[in-house]
Amino acid sequence: MAQTDFQKNFRLVLEKIFNNWQNLRLAVEHGMGGRNGQQQAIEIMEYTYKYCIGNENITQGELQDVVEELLDQEFDTICEDGSIPEICRNLLRYKSLCFSGEYAQIESELSKLPQGKEWLRPDVKIVYTPIAGENSSSEDDDSSGNSDDDMDVDDEDSDIASCSRVTRSQTRRKQEFAEPEPGWTTVRTRRK
């Protein structure tokens, strides 16, 4: 019974954190995951939950690697704003607090998060802007109606510089080429 309570409560915590992760929402709204981006985000949340529940002694670094890889695979996106380490640190901390039954402390801390709509649910429709070059037909755009659950992109949210779409070919273009001797080319990746 206690294990079931732990899992149920940890799931609520994880959902609250993921629903407040602005960069994931922006990736979905900007069409980085295509027309199924919202479903992919839900699957990332579900996978992260199962990974956390299924592994007793995971480190923040391990969880961070998993979340970064999922975001890269599903959205071709790399977050450079520090949100992933923060999310992973909090998930592991809340997992420990849930396991200890410290639900009052968790509720107190999570109540300080912005009270937004839960958007990581199949019954909520997300309005997204397809990325340039994506084929979209009228049948793909089923979010043209304005329901109460549609989320609009605020002008201030449209700047997603902290979480950018980087393709592998763009990564290759960031490499520096220098010719130390005629006939030889040295290739180095730019370091930040």
Q: Are 77 and 164 in contact (CB under 8 A)?
A: yes
Among residues 121, 109, 169, which one has the least CA distance to residue 25? 121
Query: What is the predicted pLDDT for the residue at 189?
Result: 52
What is the full per-residue pLDDT of the chain (192 aa) written as tens digits? 577 889 999 999 999 999 999 999 999 999 988 889 999 999 999 999 999 999 999 999 999 999 999 999 999 989 999 999 999 999 999 999 999 999 999 999 989 988 878 899 888 887 767 656 555 443 344 444 444 444 444 443 434 444 544 444 344 334 344 445 555 544 455 554
Among residues 12, 69, 19, which one has the least CA distance to residue 42? 19
Query: What is the predicted pLDDT for the residue at 133?
Result: 55
d(CA 12, CA 34): 27
Query: What is the predicted pLDDT for the residue at 99?
Result: 92
Domain boundaries, the chain: 2-169
Q: Is 67 helix (H, G, I), strand (E, B) or coil?
A: helix
Q: If DSSP states are collapsed to H, E and C, what string results for 27-63?
A: HHHCCCCHHHHHHHHHHHHHHHHHHHHHCCCCCHHHH
Write out the two tokens for 112: 């300080």
Write out the two tokens for 100: 């200890």
Alpha helices in 101-179 (DSSP H): 103-110, 168-173
